[in-house]
A and B are shown apart, each in its own frame.
Chain A
Amino acid sequence: MPLYIARRLLQSVLILFGVSVITFLLLYVLPADPVSQIAGRSATAATRASIRHQLGLDLPLYVQYGHFLWGLLHGDLGHSYLQKIGVAELIWARLPATLLLMVGAIACELILGLSMGLLAALRRGTAIDQGLMLVSFVGVSAPQFVIGILLLYVFAVQFGWFPIGGYGHFANLVLPALTLGILGAGWYSRMMRSSMIDVLRQDYVRTARSKGISRAKVIFGHAVPNAILPIIAMIGIDIGTFMSGIVVVESVFGWPGIGQLAWQAIQQVDIPIIMGVTLISALFIVIGNLLADLIAPLIDPRIKLQ
């Protein structure tokens, strides 16, 4: 096990390195020039050249990357071109919000998705099953901002049950988490349903029932723990997806997460922020996958790590 973890960690470092190189190259190949964004409209050519020099943007590409890597190894994610503040500080300020939304969203999608999937599997073939699958289909297909604005307009503006966007209280978390939860629940319910159906067909389930163990105990004690195996893997990937920034939901609800930060930085060609957010997102995706792979054998001893 320790060998496995060590190997995976090394792989992760290589992946992150690769991500940083590719992102760096892509950003510098962009036809957009960050100096124009910083210098603004009326700056003279001399001022622009001076700013370019001050920021080290006139150095060869590999030198710039070298500076970036050096800083990274010292824990410095660079300095925003436009906001004149450390990238790490910006990300750090917004990370808790994204983490909170992620936890809320995962909670929503698990509660909604697993219960829908379980119910659909147990009532397979009935109207309930078909109804639930239709709902999940809508959840999967509807665009995030449509669901988000709809929930905002109906429950926050018209009914006034929740604040209209914003951050700070539990009430602010409900609608954005629900928006993401509905989308995720669509996926999870389908996975749960097919996984449960598969498990319920297994021999050991029939054996358990024939031994006289109650239905409820069979379902919740034996079937569900096995059925949620693929779901665990999905949660790991989900963590990665959420941490790369759920821009649309953050925009609609004014949720101060790193998605908004990345979006603003992309429009302003604020390269250090884009690099920083990309790396942090990649880090979370890698960690999420690693966790998923580590937890799987704990739930199912049949899985052996290689």
Chain B
Amino acid sequence: MQRTLMMGAAVAALLLATAGGALADPKQGGTLTETFKNDVSTLDPAIGYDWQNWSLIKSLFSRLMDYKPGTTELTPDLAESYTVSPDGLTYTFKLRHGVKFHNGREMTAEDVAYSYDRTVNPKTQSPGQGFFKSIAGYDDVAAGKADHLSGVKVIDPYTIAITLSKPDATFLQVVALNFASVVAKEDIAKEGADYGHHPDGTGAFYLDSWTLGQELVMKRNPDYYVKGVPYLDEVDIKIGAEPLTALLQLQKGQIDIAGDGIPPASFLQVMADPAQKKLVVSAPQLETSYLTMNVNMKPLDDVRVRQAINMAINKDRIVKIINGRADVANQPLPPGMPGYDPNFKGYPYDPAKAKELLKEANYDTSQSMDLMVYNTDPNPRIAQAIQQDLAAVGIKVNIKSLDQSVIISAGGTPNTVPLIWSGGMGWIADFPDPSDFYQPILGCGGAVKGGWNWSWYCNKDIDAEAAKADAMVAPDQADARAKLWSQIFDKIMTQDAPWVPVFNERRYTLHSARIGGDDSLFVDPVHIPVNYNYVYATDAQ
């Protein structure tokens, strides 16, 4: 549980600032048409882990906990209420009555237990398996030795108790993840490997049809347990359109949302047109784009060199390169994340000081380092800016512009890549908790072959403090926990500086005038690009 006052305040400010004219009680009806370039890969909630299917799955399935629309505030969803034992290890959830799967059967606690078991079962090949590691019995199920998590107990059809092996402050966030969505055993048995294309959940929408490579149609679930929602009757996903073609279709009013976003090349043109600008909703995201420095490779193993690089990079200029679509960052956490430290000064842009530090470290200016970058615009241009900034203080850099999958593999191979610009692969929160910004990308656990800790940073003391922070599970400890995380990230930057945090990308969603709803729904931090459950069609009003 995280206190999200800051995010709540941001949302409130957004609501006040934008005279979006959102209706208080919209009428039901209408269709939303959205395009994506790539085919939706799978709608199996245990497997789907790309930004395209993430929100579709959220609308097709439900979880014990979920987020209030447009916010990062947790709230019980399939659960009516929950209690936590005094030792912080057992969470008991009381489930709603009368929740029906799309196949008609009522959902019970057995289904919840089955779903969690399924996600952890190695045969399912779930990428989210590891999120559940704090549940007692995880090791046996993950190793294939047991079928059922011993920590998950069905007390009665509407009560389920989950016991952890150690206190975990992120547990309720995990319970709200797609991987914890509730599925029905008989559907999995019936569809087998095809379940991803024939999903059946308890969500606001059900999958009506899916023509591979062409179109996917979701229709309103009339038995949804939240009355009155969703407002839309139908969501039509059309596959195959390039972002530029999608923008043209949107401008002609043929579609409502361009799922892949505004193509960067057209951004300025769209924002310069007042009619279109009105339909663009923008908000910061829980994202950070950064430069990783491999702390195990010379010359980056000297902290002074890493600090010098931090001070040599002109972040304002880089934000200009992307037409101002981001805010300069000085720490790993993005604003809006609990634990973000607004008072942290970070490293100033000071090339003179950078040169001094390099001299101190006896930096050999004749050597050069490789900088890997994702070859999609604007990242190569950003890499060039970084190269120029570093050259100005005497650091020579060779740019290697490559495919995303190659960089991911190389970054996860020890002693291979000195510098990586994370653009296009920037870290976006799995869930709105600072722990998610530490463990996989800065923690010792991520500094392994195939991991995403591309700076190979592993500080055992910091790891211990992170573990301490994640053990602070009591609700009244939330503030202290956030403060501890602030300190942890501040220390990481000032003591070790394994990264140069450069910017936090802003999100821009362009929608047609036909689709209405509070602005926060179009930049919902958890539903990308839009919260299908709560937007409405203006022509149905």
User: Which A residues lie at the B interface, using CB under 8 A?
Assistant: 30-48, 50-51, 53-55, 79, 82-85, 89-90, 93-94, 97, 149, 152-153, 156-157, 160, 163-167, 250-256, 260-261, 264, 267-269
Main secondary structure of the interface of A (DSSP, over half): helix
Q: What does the 1/0 interface line of B125-151 toward A look like (CB < 8 Å)?
A: 111111101000000001000000000
A41 adjacent to B440 (CB under 8 Å): yes
Contact across chains for A33 and B38 when beta carbons are under 8 A apart = no
Task: Name the segment of B39-47, B152-160, B305-313, B476-484 touching the other chain.
Answer: B39-47
Name the residue in B42, B244, B405 with the highest tally of chain A Cβ atoms < 10 Å from its Cβ: B405
A30, A42, A97, A254: the one within 8 Å of B130 (CB): A42
Which of B128, B196, B214 neighbours the largest number of chain A CB atoms within 10 Å of its CB? B214
Question: Once the chains bind, are A42 and B249 in contact (CB under 8 Å)?
Answer: no
For this complex, 5 residue pairs linking A to B, each with C-beta atoms less than 8 Å apart, are A42-B452, A45-B451, A54-B122, A82-B42, A84-B44
The answer to the question of B449 belonging to the interface, with a C-beta cut-off of 8 Å to chain A, is yes
- The segment from B84-92, B235-243, B358-366, B457-465 found at the interface with A is B235-243
B271: CB under 8 A from chain A? no
A83-B41 contact in complex given A42-B131, A166-B238, A252-B245, C-beta closer than 8 Å: yes
- Confirm or deny: B197 has a beta carbon within 8 angstroms of a beta carbon on chain A: yes
Q: Is there contact, CB below 8 Å, between A252 and B212?
A: no
**B129:A36 contact, CB within 8 angstroms:** no
Distance to closest chain B CB from A175 (angstroms): 11
Q: Look across to chain A and name the residue whose beta carbon is closest to the beta carbon of B126.
A: A47
B378 within 8 A of A: no
Whether A254 contacts B38 by the Cβ 8 Å rule is no
Q: Which residue of A lies closest to B404 (CB)?
A: A267
Q: Is the CB of B405 within 8 A of A33?
A: yes
Q: A83-B39, A83-B41, A255-B240 are in contact. Are A38 and B214 (CB under 8 A)?
A: no
Query: In whole angstroms, what is the CA distance A79 to B439 when docked?
Result: 32
B193's partner among A84, A93, A261, A268 (CB-CB below 8 A) is A84
Within 8 A of A (CB), among B36-61: 37-39, 41-42, 44, 47, 49-50
Contact B249 A36 (CB under 8 A): no
User: Please, how many residues of chain B have a CB less than 8 angstroms from a CB on the other chain?
Assistant: 60
B194 within 8 A of A: yes
Chain B neighbourhood of A48, CB < 8 A: 450
Inter-chain CA distance A166–B241, complex, in Å, is 7
| B142, A46: Cβ atoms closer than 8 Å | yes
Q: Which 6 A-B pairs have the closest CB atoms?
A: A44-B130, A32-B405, A93-B212, A254-B240, A254-B241, A256-B213
Q: Which residues of A contact B448 (CB under 8 A)?
A: 45
Minimum Cβ distance to chain B for residue A46 (Å): 7
Please report the C-alpha to C-alpha distance between residue A287 and residue B14 in the assembled complex, in whole angstroms.
61
In the assembly, what is the distance between CA of A265 and CA of B89, in Å? 43
A149 to B242, CA, bound (A): 11
Please give me the residue from chain B that is nearest to A35 by CB atom: B450
Known: A152-B248, A251-B37, A267-B404. 19 other contacts (CB 8 A): A31-B410, A33-B409, A40-B128, A41-B427, A41-B452, A42-B436, A45-B450, A51-B122, A54-B125, A55-B125, A84-B41, A85-B196, A93-B213, A157-B252, A251-B242, A253-B245, A254-B241, A256-B214, A269-B405
Q: Is the CB of A256 within 8 A of B130?
A: no
> What's the nearest-Cβ distance from chain A to residue B82, in Å?
24
B130, A83: Cβ atoms closer than 8 Å: no
CB–CB A83/B42 < 8 A: yes
